[in-house]
Structure 1
Amino acid sequence: MTHRSKAGRWRVLACAIVAAAAFGAQWEGYPKLTREELIATIKETEQGARPAVDGKNLSELDLSSVDFRGANLSASVLNGAKLVGATLDRCNLTVSFLEGANLSGASLREAVLFSTQLAGANLTGADLTGARLIGDLRKADLTKAKLIRMNAAADMKNQSMGLMRANLVNATAIEADFSDSDFSRTDFSFSDLSRAKLLRTTLYRADFSGVVLAGADLTGADLRNAVLIDTDLTDANLTNADLTGATLRSVRGLDKATTTGTRGLTPETMSNQ
């Protein structure tokens, strides 16, 4: 990516943030579309082209089952929208707003969710396989969601506006599948990942403070330098996981976890919990 394109991306991000603060709930300057107008725009797109509905106000609309496949929805407003069962595969949702949106059962395979606002969104059963994620998912519901082979690692090259990383604070991800993904430096604080699958997941420097990982499968997970303070690991599977350099303090249930082949655990660590 060239210096110019990087600068342009950050200008878009800055403008979106300023716009949100300035316009609030009114979203002035974002053309409001109806469901019918949106579908018509998508259908009118030339065959093989990427539908462009970026910068639009689609908040509170019922867009259930709409096929957005490959659409450019960057810098769009979908706060409170109903996207149940919608197809958003390969969509560009960079700096878009989906706060409180209902995406249950939606497909977002290989979607780009860079600096996307998803706080309080309902993503139960959603499929985000292969998606790129750096966004705000505070209090989001990811129960039974598929987050397989995702790149959700922090952006270490562009930190002019602070560390850009995935934020899953106070989220619910019971029985969600994070397998084979990279969630390095993600903040999972105070979330519920009970019985979640994190097989071979890269969780380098991730923050699991106050997180419930009871019954979670972390087989082969990379937890080097991760933070596990007041974390519940009751019945978790840590087989062949790497906890080298991790901070473990006041961890619950470690004595009931499976630790066969787990690296980074010392007798002192086990006895101090």
Structure 2
Amino acid sequence: MMTGATQAQNMMGLDVTSDAFTKSMMTRSELEAAIAKLPAGEVLDLTGKSLNGLDLSGMDLRRTKLQAARINDANLSNTNLEGVVLDQAWALKSNFTGANLKNSSLFATQFGGGKLDGADFTGAHVAADFTNASATKAKFDGADLSADEKNQSMGLMRGAFKGAKLDGASFKGANMQRVFMEFASLRGADLSGANLRKGEFAAADLTDANVAGANFDGADLNSARIGKMKGEDQALNLDKAKNRERAVVN
């Protein structure tokens, strides 16, 4: 039973317990065969396909398109998804441990309750939902997690990490403007050089996080733990953060 990160889904009136979200239309062997038969330069279009529950661990999926695909409760640990389009894909409670998602497109992708420890999102477009997911030691260096304020037909799409475990994760130089990090654990995370403008960090834990060069202009720190941040003296506009006086500093 999928729980925890279904608020957005339920708002869309979708039944995440239906066959489309719980069963698979093909096996791993069939997927491997389809990729192997691809003509040079072509991509296997899996848009909207149901691949729920499959063990795809270690596969090279760079020649696939997974837009709006359903890959819930699937094992994608150590898969190569570099540059793959996963916009609007459903990956609730799936395992992406150690996966390569560099430069991938993750617009409105649902990772709620998933396991993404050590995954690499370097340079990716990450307007995705990671509610209650675990992404410890994951890499988001240079990634774009910011809100798309020009296109709000689906609401304010941005990196959403409510309650996520991001201890030791790296966000060096990432664009995190208006990112949603309420109740997230960022203990020991590297936020150096990140753009945190107007980010929502209420009740987030930034203990031992490296914030050197991070821009806090307008970031909401209400009840956030900021007392033991590293590089605080090199942070930008920390004095302009919202609700800094309500942050926890001990």
Amino acid at match of 1:147: F
More helix by share: 1
Partner of 1:211: 204
Contact 1:220-1:239 within 8 A present in 2 as well: no
Of the three residues 35, 53, 60, the one matched with 2:46 is 53
Amino acid at match of 1:250: R
Is the partner of 2:106 in helix, strand or coil?
Answer: strand
Of the three residues 242, 246, 256, the one matched with 2:241 is 246
For residues 139-159 of structure 1, the C-alpha deviation after alignment (integer angstroms, 9 at most, x for no partner) is 010100011110111001111
Structure 1 residue 23, shift from structure 2 partner: 6.8
Of the three residues 49, 73, 82, the one matched with 2:66 is 73
Of the three residues 157, 167, 173, the one matched with 1:174 is 167
Q: 1:45 to 1:239 in 2, by over 3 A?
A: farther
Structure 1 residue 50, shift from structure 2 partner: 2.2
Contact 1:110-1:132 within 8 A present in 2 as well: yes
Of the three residues 128, 132, 140, the one matched with 2:125 is 132
In the alignment, the residues of structure 2 paired with residue 252 and residue 85 of structure 1 have an alpha-carbon distance, to the nearest angstrom, of 37
Contact 2:96-2:116 within 8 A present in 1 as well: yes
Unpaired stretches in structure 1, ≥5 consecutive residues: 1-15, 255-273
1:146 and 2:139 matched = yes
Q: Which range is displaced more, 134-143 or 45-54?
A: 45-54
In the alignment, the residues of structure 2 paired with residue 201 and residue 31 of structure 1 have an alpha-carbon distance, to the nearest angstrom, of 39
Of the three residues 100, 104, 118, the one matched with 1:107 is 100
1:224 and 2:203 matched = no
Q: 1:137 to 1:23 in 2, by over 3 A?
A: closer
In the alignment, the residues of structure 2 paired with residue 126 and residue 213 of structure 1 have an alpha-carbon distance, to the nearest angstrom, of 20
Q: 1:175 to 1:31 in 2, by over 3 A?
A: closer
Contact 1:149-1:181 within 8 A present in 2 as well: yes
Unpaired stretches in structure 2, ≥5 consecutive residues: 1-8
Partner of 1:198: 191
The ranges of structure 1 where at least 4 consecutive aligned residues each deviate by more than 4 angstroms after the TM superposition are 16-20
Q: Relative contact order (alpha carbons < 8 A, sep ≥ 6): 1 or 2 greater?
A: 2
For residues 85-138 of structure 1, the C-alpha deviation after alignment (integer angstroms, 9 at most, x for no partner) is 111100000110000000001110101000100001100011111110111100
Aligned-pair identity in percent equals: 32
Contact 1:220-1:240 within 8 A present in 2 as well: yes
1:94 and 2:87 matched = yes
Kindly name which structure, 1 or 2, has the bigger radius of gyration based on alpha carbons: 1
Contact 2:24-2:50 within 8 A present in 1 as well: yes
In the alignment, the residues of structure 1 paired with residue 103 and residue 10 of structure 2 have an alpha-carbon distance, to the nearest angstrom, of 24
Q: 1:18 to 1:188 in 2, by over 3 A?
A: closer
After TM superposition, the structure 1 = structure 2 runs for residues 19-58 of structure 1, keeping only pairs within 5 Å, are: 21=14, 24-27=17-20, 32-58=25-51
In the alignment, the residues of structure 2 paired with residue 169 and residue 94 of structure 1 have an alpha-carbon distance, to the nearest angstrom, of 20
In the alignment, the residues of structure 2 paired with residue 17 and residue 109 of structure 1 have an alpha-carbon distance, to the nearest angstrom, of 29
Contact 1:88-1:111 within 8 A present in 2 as well: yes
User: How many matched pairs?
Assistant: 238
Partner of 1:161: 154
In the alignment, the residues of structure 1 paired with residue 138 and residue 68 of structure 2 have an alpha-carbon distance, to the nearest angstrom, of 24
Contact 2:74-2:91 within 8 A present in 1 as well: yes
Is the partner of 1:249 in helix, strand or coil?
Answer: helix
Contact 1:70-1:89 within 8 A present in 2 as well: no
Structure 1 residue 42, shift from structure 2 partner: 1.2
- Using structure 2 for the length normalisation, give the TM-score: 0.90
